[in-house]
A = this chain, B = another copy of it.
Amino acid sequence: MSPLPDPHTLLKKITQETRTFLDRHHINDPHMVGIHTGGSWVAQALHQALSLKQELGTLDISFYRDDYTRIGLNPQVKPSHLPFVVEDRDILLVDDVLHTGRTIRAALNELFDYGRPRSIHLIVLLDRSGRELPIQADVSGQHLSLRPDQHIKLQGPEPLQFIFSEDC
Interface, chain A (partner B; CB < 8 A): 66-67, 93, 104-105, 108-109, 112, 116-122, 132-138
* Sample of 7 further A-B pairs with CB below 8 A, known A109-B109, A134-B138: A66-B116, A105-B108, A108-B133, A118-B132, A122-B134, A134-B137, A135-B136
Copies of this chain held together in the complex: 2
Distance of A133 from chain B, by nearest CB (Å): 5
Chain B hits for A118, CB < 8 A = 132
In chain B, what residue has the closest Cβ to A134? Answer: B122
In the A-B complex, the 8 residue pairs with the closest CB atoms: A122-B134, A136-B136, A119-B132, A66-B116, A120-B133, A134-B135, A134-B138, A134-B136
Please, how many angstroms separate the alpha-carbon atoms of A93 and B135 in the complex? 13
Please, how many angstroms separate the alpha-carbon atoms of A138 and B135 in the complex? 9
Of the listed residues A105, A109, A133, the one surrounded by the most CB atoms of chain B closer than 10 A to its CB is A133
Distance of A128 from chain B, by nearest CB (Å): 15
Chain B hits for A93, CB < 8 A = 134
In chain B, what residue has the closest Cβ to A117? Answer: B132
In chain B, what residue has the closest Cβ to A100? Answer: B119
Please, how many angstroms separate the alpha-carbon atoms of A80 and B67 in the complex? 24
Chain B hits for A121, CB < 8 A = 134
Contact (Cβ within 8 A) A135 B132? no
In chain B, what residue has the closest Cβ to A124? Answer: B134
Please, how many angstroms separate the alpha-carbon atoms of A133 and B104 in the complex? 11
17 contacts between A and B (CB under 8 A): A66-B112, A66-B116, A67-B116, A93-B134, A104-B134, A105-B105, A105-B108, A108-B133, A109-B109, A119-B133, A120-B133, A122-B134, A134-B136, A134-B137, A135-B135, A135-B136, A136-B136
